[in-house]
């Protein structure tokens, strides 16, 4: 394959020009860019809300904003980050771009549904932004009743409509991925030759399709209760507020696995490439993704240990929560073992991957603290929980996203990125992150509750440390925004496979042609065949030429 300058060759970016060719595209690669721009936008909006929160929390008193505003800020931060960044980011950006390439297909099974997914995401986002502009919502992203259904005076209905609509975006993406992976693999691409990135997105898609409808109906019931005074969750009218918690967490716990499984898939690609070694325990890593998806549906009650649910429910959920930790542990051990006797290169994506493993280990272990009944009674609804989930969502998921963006940037754009700056940004993010969130474990055990606008003065020192870390973290996030945009014009052109990586996506030019492969490849190697790096990964049979 040639390494010609992108501008002289027809590929998916220059195949057509104009706004319409982008807004009406059915090319999964262009749709991935539409998502990339939108999720970045929402990430910085959510980050802006967080910035205001951390500035307010520099002092024990409420001196930056009023209590009601603060409550709206943390709610909007949660809603934006969870539903409009974390859930879509890796699947809709990297998954959309890479899955057809990784399996040797020309596109996803349903390209127009893919575009519809993006529009649903945007419409949902517009509803939520409108709610924010109209004064925001102050229920917390968890919308507990009866506060959300009766007492709150904020824009609950608008926000839940936004989440409802965006939920369908997720459902359709999951549906598309499952059908594509089942039916459109290239010849020779058997299930157990699939990249683990594909396995993890398959597992994520199972959660998308089985879990998301439940939150759709839960939030619909809240909206109906608010608008028509139904009484389903209102104890005055015979309703039960705990029913909402069960319905809500039935989705929202699996949702956190939606947020981490794709990231784990990215790490499973980065580690073998940057150790030039087959992944250790492929089958175990693949099945652990499925195990997490299945077990993840059985543990929702661990958010409700002190809610007034029965002690036996608590015990069952605690037990199952311990079990769901095991597949994640298996992955961590397998990734680490892959490094052993490897040929390790610490490029920026690898720095993100190694940082992920460390931070995910810590985040996952602190999950045991909250899954343990006796300790959770103390740390539930405190900053301990906040620290725990940010270690996973920010320390792990966001780092995996950035690692993936850097790794596949040459493939997506045909350009490299500035390596020194990228490594520097990774380091700044790692340090800033730890300074922001580690003190919060201590704050939580000390007893500082979540969602507190003002706090007792003895908690100030740790809060100041946390806010200082957040300012460093912010710098770390802005850097890639700047240099990645800069790289589009000024970085050297990338060849087809600048990392000498395995994977079908590296067997086609950078950027790929619109139909991904000039000729449908036939896979002849197992996944991550780095031990035979000099042998070809695919062969081509003329009679199996792709439909032109």
Partner 1 sequence: MSDTPAIHAHQFDDSVQQHEASWLGMWVFLGTEVMFFGGMFLGYTFYRTAYPQGFAAASNHLDIWLGTINTAVLICSSFTMALAVRAGQIGQNRLVKIFLCLTIVLGIVFLGIKFTEYYQKFEEHLVPGWDFRFEGALVSSAEIFFSFYFAMTGMHAVHMIIGISLLTVLIVKATRGRFSASYNTPVELIGLYWHFVDIVWIFLFPLLYLVGRHLG
Partner 2 sequence: MFGPNLPLFPEQASTLAPRVDALLYFLLAVSAFFSLLISISIVVFAIKYRRRSDSERPPLILGSLGLEIFWTAVPLAITMVIFVWGAKLFFVSFYPPPNALEINVVAKQWMWKVQHPEGKSEIDELHIPAGQPVKLLLTSQDVIHDFFVPAFRVKKDVLPGRYTTLWFEASKPGTYHLFCAQYCGTQHSGMVGRIIVMEPPAYATWVGGGGTGGSTTAAGQKLFQTLGCATCHLPTDSGRGPSLVGLIGKTVALQNGRSITADENYLRESILEPRAKIVMGYQPIMPIFKGSVSEEGVLQIISYIKSLTPQAGAQGKK
Interface residues with partner 1 (CB under 8 A) are 100, 105-111, 171, 174-176, 178-180, 182-184, 209-214, 216-218, 220-221, 224, 227-232, 237-240, 243, 247, 250, 515, 520, 546-547
Whichever of 240 and 531 has its CB closer to partner 1, that residue is 240
Whichever of 367 and 418 has its CB closer to partner 2, that residue is 367
On whether the CB atoms of residues 327 and 291 are closer than 8 A, the answer is: yes
Nearest by Cα to 49 from 389, 429, 454, 470: 470
With CB under 5 to 8 Å by kind, the binding choice for 446 among partner 2, partner 1, none is partner 2
With CB under 5 to 8 Å by kind, the binding choice for 486 among partner 2, partner 1, none is none
How far from 324 is each of 208, 318, 397, 448, CA to CA, in Å?
Answer: 18, 10, 18, 28
Whichever of 535 and 543 has its CB closer to partner 2, that residue is 535
How far from 497 is each of 188, 267, 273, 500, CA to CA, in Å?
Answer: 21, 18, 11, 5
With CB under 5 to 8 Å by kind, the binding choice for 229 among partner 1, partner 2, none is partner 1
Structure tokens belonging to residue 333:
């051990």
Whichever of 171 and 291 has its CB closer to partner 2, that residue is 291
With CB under 5 to 8 Å by kind, the binding choice for 258 among partner 2, partner 1, none is none
How far from 439 is each of 434, 444, 464, CA to CA, in Å?
Answer: 8, 9, 9
Q: Give residue for tokens 């290239």.
A: 186
With CB under 5 to 8 Å by kind, the binding choice for 21 among partner 1, partner 2, none is none
Closest approach, Cβ 188 to partner 2, in A, equals 19
- The DSSP bridge partners found for residue 539 are 522
Structure tokens belonging to residue 234:
């209102």
With CB under 5 to 8 Å by kind, the binding choice for 211 among partner 1, partner 2, none is partner 1
With CB under 5 to 8 Å by kind, the binding choice for 277 among partner 2, partner 1, none is partner 2
H/E run at residue 523: strand 522-523
Whichever of 107 and 269 has its CB closer to partner 2, that residue is 269
Looking only at the bridges linking them, the beta strands covering 538-539 and 522-523 are antiparallel
On whether the CB atoms of residues 335 and 357 are closer than 8 A, the answer is: yes
Closest approach, Cβ 239 to partner 2, in A, equals 8
Closest approach, Cβ 4 to partner 2, in A, equals 23
With CB under 5 to 8 Å by kind, the binding choice for 287 among partner 1, partner 2, none is none
Whichever of 131 and 291 has its CB closer to partner 2, that residue is 291
Closest approach, Cβ 317 to partner 2, in A, equals 11
How far from 493 is each of 16, 45, 369, 407, 518, CA to CA, in Å?
Answer: 21, 32, 48, 15, 21
Whichever of 113 and 373 has its CB closer to partner 1, that residue is 113
Closest approach, Cβ 199 to partner 2, in A, equals 15
The span from the CA of 216 to the CA of 430, in Å, is: 35
With CB under 5 to 8 Å by kind, the binding choice for 306 among partner 2, partner 1, none is partner 2
With CB under 5 to 8 Å by kind, the binding choice for 228 among partner 2, partner 1, none is partner 1
The span from the CA of 318 to the CA of 294, in Å, is: 16
The span from the CA of 83 to the CA of 478, in Å, is: 21
Burial label for 390, CB within 10 Å (0-12, 13-18, 19+), is buried
The span from the CA of 108 to the CA of 537, in Å, is: 22
Q: Give residue for tokens 């300074």.
A: 435
On whether the CB atoms of residues 504 and 186 are closer than 8 A, the answer is: yes
The span from the CA of 186 to the CA of 503, in Å, is: 13
Closest approach, Cβ 137 to partner 1, in A, equals 21
H/E run at residue 259: helix 241-275
Closest approach, Cβ 278 to partner 2, in A, equals 6
Closest approach, Cβ 171 to partner 1, in A, equals 5
With CB under 5 to 8 Å by kind, the binding choice for 519 among partner 2, partner 1, none is none
How many CB atoms lie under 10 A from the CB of residue 145?
A: 28
Whichever of 350 and 484 has its CB closer to partner 2, that residue is 350
The span from the CA of 382 to the CA of 136, in Å, is: 24
Nearest by Cα to 128 from 246, 211, 41, 210: 41
Closest approach, Cβ 174 to partner 1, in A, equals 8
Whichever of 434 and 520 has its CB closer to partner 1, that residue is 520
* Cis ω before 146 (30° cut-off from 0): yes
Whichever of 179 and 472 has its CB closer to partner 1, that residue is 179
- The DSSP bridge partners found for residue 415 are 493
With CB under 5 to 8 Å by kind, the binding choice for 452 among partner 2, partner 1, none is partner 2
Closest approach, Cβ 518 to partner 1, in A, equals 14
Closest approach, Cβ 233 to partner 1, in A, equals 10
Closest approach, Cβ 33 to partner 2, in A, equals 32
Whichever of 479 and 504 has its CB closer to partner 1, that residue is 504
Whichever of 211 and 349 has its CB closer to partner 2, that residue is 349
């Amino acid at each position: 394959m040639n390494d010609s300058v992108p501008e002289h060759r027809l590929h998916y970016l220059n195949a057509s020009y104009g706004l319409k060719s982008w807004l009406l595209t059915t090319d999964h690669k262009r749709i991935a860019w539409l998502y990339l721009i939108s999720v970045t936008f929402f990430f910085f909006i959510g980050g802006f809300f967080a910035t205001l929160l951390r500035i307010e929390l520099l002092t024990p008193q409420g001196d930056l904003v009023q209590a009601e505003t603060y409550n709206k800020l943390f709610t909007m931060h949660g809603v934006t980050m969870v539903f409009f960044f974390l859930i879509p980011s890796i699947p809709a950006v990297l998954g959309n771009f890479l899955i057809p390439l990784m399996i040797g297909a020309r596109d996803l099974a349903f390209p127009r549904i893919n575009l519809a997914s993006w529009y649903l995401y945007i419409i949902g986002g517009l509803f939520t932004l409108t709610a924010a502009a109209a004064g925001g919502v102050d229920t917390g992203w968890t919308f507990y009743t009866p506060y959300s259904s009766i007492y709150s005076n904020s824009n609950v209905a608008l926000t839940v409509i936004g989440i409802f609509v965006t939920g369908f975006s997720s459902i359709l993406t999951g549906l598309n991925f499952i059908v594509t992976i089942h039916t459109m693999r290239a010849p020779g691409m058997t299930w157990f030759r699939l990249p683990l990135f594909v396995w993890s997105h398959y597992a994520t898609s199972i959660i998308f399709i089985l879990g998301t409808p439940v939150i759709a109906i839960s939030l619909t019931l809240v909206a109906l209760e608010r608008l028509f005074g139904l009484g389903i969750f209102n104890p005055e009218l015979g309703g039960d507020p705990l029913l909402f918690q069960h319905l809500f967490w039935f989705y929202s716990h699996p949702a956190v696995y939606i947020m981490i499984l794709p990231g784990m898939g990215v790490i499973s690609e980065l580690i073998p490439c940057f150790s030039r070694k087959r992944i250790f325990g492929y089958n175990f890593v693949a099945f652990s993704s499925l195990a997490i998806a299945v077990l993840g549906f059985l543990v929702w009650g661990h958010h409700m240990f002190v809610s007034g649910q029965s002690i036996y429910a608590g015990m069952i959920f605690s037990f199952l929560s311990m079990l769901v930790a095991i597949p994640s542990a298996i992955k961590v051990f397998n990734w680490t073992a892959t490094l052993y006797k490897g040929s390790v290169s610490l490029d920026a994506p690898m720095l993100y991957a190694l940082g992920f493993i460390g931070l995910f280990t810590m985040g996952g272990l602190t999950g045991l603290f909250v899954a343990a009944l006796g300790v959770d009674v103390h740390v539930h609804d405190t900053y301990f929980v906040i620290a725990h989930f940010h270690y996973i969502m920010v320390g792990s998921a966001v780092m995996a996203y950035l690692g993936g963006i850097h790794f596949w940037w040459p493939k997506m754009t045909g350009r490299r990125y500035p390596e020194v700056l990228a490594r520097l940004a990774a380091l700044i993010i790692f340090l800033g992150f730890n300074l922001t969130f580690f003190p919060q474990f201590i704050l939580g055990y000390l007893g500082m509750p979540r969602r507190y606008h003002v706090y007792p003065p003895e908690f100030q020192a740790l809060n100041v440390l946390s806010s200082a870390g957040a300012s460093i973290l912010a710098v770390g996030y802005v850097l890639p925004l700047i240099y990645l945009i800069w790289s589009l014009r000024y970085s050297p052109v990338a060849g087809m496979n600048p990392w000498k990586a395995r994977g079908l996506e590296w067997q086609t030019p950078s950027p790929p042609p619109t139909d991904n492969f000039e000729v449908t490849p036939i896979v002849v190697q197992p996944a991550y065949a780095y031990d035979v790096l000099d042998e070809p990964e695919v062969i081509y049979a003329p009679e199996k030429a792709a439909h032109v």
